[in-house]
Structure 1
Amino acid sequence: MASLYGRFAASTARKHVLCLSYRCASTKVTMGDPLEHATGLEKRELLAKVAGNDDPFDLKVIKRCAGTKTQPNEIPSAFDSRLVGCICEEDATSINWMWLHKGEPKRCECGYWFNLVHKAPV
């Protein structure tokens, strides 16, 4: 019985020493820059952010300007149409959604005009 306990203690001690040496070795290893590992759309997004474009997909809120028929609010899109939401009043609890199509300015229910303009894709 004593020899069984001795073998168990020796094997546990070896595992503990191996774990400690593994931890020491792993602390020296570092991951490379995420830009080096990224591919495809993720890499293009990271490159756009490095170039200074914080919103490469134009997902942030765009503040409305005059919004007249002669000077509509310009909404960027890489496609021929885009779904746009207009918060007509500052305290509104709902959003008025509408589809914008390239070359066709559209008027919201609140009276503001919107126009789709071309933007190069990411």
Structure 2
Amino acid sequence: MASLLYRSAANVVRRSTLISAVRMSSETPKVDPERGKVASDKVSMPDTLGHAVGAERFELLARLAGNEDPFDMNVKSRAKGTVDEPTLIPSLYDSRIVGCICEEDAVSITWMTLHKGEQKRCMCGYYFKLVPLEYKDYGQ
């Protein structure tokens, strides 16, 4: 039963990963940075986008541009996971917490902290490496 549930969830994750990969590969359209902030004859008060600042505004602008996962938080499939070809984990920071489901029927997640510039091996034998996330300007 657990195996069946895991396979169903894995198929959903694969499909959503494929869709977001196709979206990310296309050229991102520019979003007007003044959108929602400036009053016009149609609108007299700023909308949600006009009130948002910082990370929230970045996320809203990215979603308007078609990027549903601007912070790369979605589930990723493991690559080969060898010393020569580790699974690459993108991050805006110098460290990131990563969870690994070591076995197909595992009921727990193995958590580890990855640091910039070094590879880390999970208990199941897969290697992971932190790489810088490509920053896209959405017209903040």
Which of the five TM-score ranges fits, normalised by the shorter chain? 0.5 to 0.7
> 1:48 is matched with which residue?
62
Match of 1:94 among 95, 108, 115: 108
Q: Any idea what the Cα deviations from partners look like across 1:63-105, whole Å, max 9, x if unmatched?
A: 1111111010000111111111100011100111111111111
Higher fraction of helix: 1
> 2:120 is matched with which residue?
106
> 2:97 is matched with which residue?
83
Question: What's the % identity of the aligned pairs?
Answer: 61
Quote the offset at 1:42 in angstroms: 1.4
Paired with 1:90 and 1:79, the residues of 2 have a C-alpha distance of 30
Aligned pairs (5 A) from 1:4-83: 33-83=47-97
User: Could you list the runs of 4 or more consecutive aligned residues of structure 1 that deviate by over 6 angstroms after TM superposition?
Assistant: none
Paired with 1:34 and 1:117, the residues of 2 have a C-alpha distance of 33
Paired with 1:32 and 1:90, the residues of 2 have a C-alpha distance of 49
Structure 2 unaligned blocks of 5 or more: 1-42
Q: Count matched residues.
A: 94
What TM-score, normalized by structure 1, do the two folds share?
Answer: 0.68
Paired with 1:115 and 1:38, the residues of 2 have a C-alpha distance of 33
The one-letter code of the counterpart of 2:121 is R
> 1:21 is matched with which residue?
none
Give the structure with higher Rg (CA): 1
